[in-house]
Amino acid sequence: MKRLHALQYLRAVAALIVVYSHSAIQISEWKSLLPYTGAYGVDIFFVLSGFIMVYIAKPNDTPLKFITNRVRRVVPLYWFFTLLMGIILFAMPGLFKTGEFSVAALLQSLFFIPHYSLQNPDFVWPIVAPGWSLNYEMYFYVLFAISLVFAQQFRVAFIIGAITVIWAGLSLTGSNAAIPRFLSDPTVFEFAAGMLLAVAWQRKFHLSNATGWVFLISGFILATIAPDTMHHWLRISIPSTMIVLGCLFIQVPVSKIGLMLGDASYAIYLSHIFVLGAMRVVVPDDAAATTSNAWLFVTACMIASTIVGVLVHFMIDNWLLREERLSMFKSAQNPEASEARR
């Protein structure tokens, strides 16, 4: 098993374009001065997750071992920021554009239970808004863990079948409750797209370097320019799958900085809204609504979010993941499984 460097770089790019999409809407008066794009970075993560889970899976994996590794990787930093957000919303709600504290929302957020946001009631978001994607991730991980009771050749089919049945069943109910609405969103099929890419990869499907670049560039262009009126799958899911597909076959040099940013992408993703909250506060009230100021702000936000994310990765995330701090989650891991922790 080899480390796919382009996928690592893609993780960094996906995190940074999410940072851009959120930076561009921080100052209400400047929103119209900037192109809004980049939310599809999360969809890229979903396709990547589907691919990586199949890629690292072993015939002798067990549900307990898999879910332990996933909890060990995802939960500590997410809980850190969720508890931090709870403290801020309770003590300093003005730091964010909207802020309201609730013990129930805090507990639902900590345990990945989809619920309507107090701050943005139209959205099913935890109190750390980017954590909505982790609710999907944990849903996928549970299905993947269950699939491990089957022989390896049946696992992908089981997961796709389960996602389809749950999606169809909840869609037919027409319920607008948080959990049915969340799990009946077609976004869940992006994990299936990633798994199918992994199956094709394992069966030696191959594209040339040039074709890989065509898929990669075309995917980014389509995801960037597609109108909001198009269905999510045509506008976002298929282009995101094209991007990941392209990254599997392009030839790129090894970059220590690129690999490091890929490793830090999770920290960048979770920490950036705190950075943006602070950046918005320091903008003078009389700052002119000009295109140059808007771009300067977004650039500063992206640089600051990257620096803070890297620091969080090395100083908090890696610290939280040390074995002695997670003895309750210890599990035997082989070298190939290291990709699952990144």
> What span, in angstroms and rounded, lies between the C-alpha atoms of 267 and 226?
29
Find all residues with CB under 8 Å of 167, minimum gap 6, and list them.
183, 184, 186, 188, 189
- Taking the C-alpha atoms of residue 167 and residue 172, their distance in angstroms, rounded to an integer, is 9
Are 34 and 24 within 8 A, CB to CB?
Answer: yes
Our measurement of the distance from residue 311's CA atom to the centroid of its chain's CA atoms, rounded to an integer in Å, reads: 19
Angle, CA 140 vertex, CA 116 and CA 102 arms, to 5°:
25
> Is 135:182 a contact under the CB 8 Å cutoff?
yes
- In this prediction the pTM is 0.91
| Per-residue pLDDT in tens (0 to 9) along the chain, 342 residues | 456 899 999 999 999 999 999 999 999 899 999 999 999 999 999 999 999 999 999 888 899 999 999 999 999 999 999 999 999 888 876 666 556 788 999 999 999 999 999 888 899 999 999 999 999 999 999 999 999 999 999 999 999 999 999 999 999 999 999 999 999 999 999 999 999 999 999 999 999 999 999 999 999 999 999 998 999 999 999 999 999 999 999 999 999 999 999 999 999 999 999 999 899 989 988 899 999 999 999 999 999 999 999 999 999 998 887 654 555 445 434 434 444 334
Token match 């950046």: residue? 279
The per-residue pLDDT for 3 is 63
Q: How far out from the chain centre does Cα 149 lie?
A: 27
What is the distance between the alpha carbons of residues 38 and 42, in angstroms, rounded to a whole number? 9
pLDDT tens sequence across 20-58 = 999 999 998 999 999 999 999 999 999 999 999 999 998
- Residue tagged 């299936």 (tokens): 192
DSSP character at residue 317:
I
What separation in angstroms does the CA of 258 have from each of 94, 227, 274, 307, 342?
36, 31, 23, 14, 13
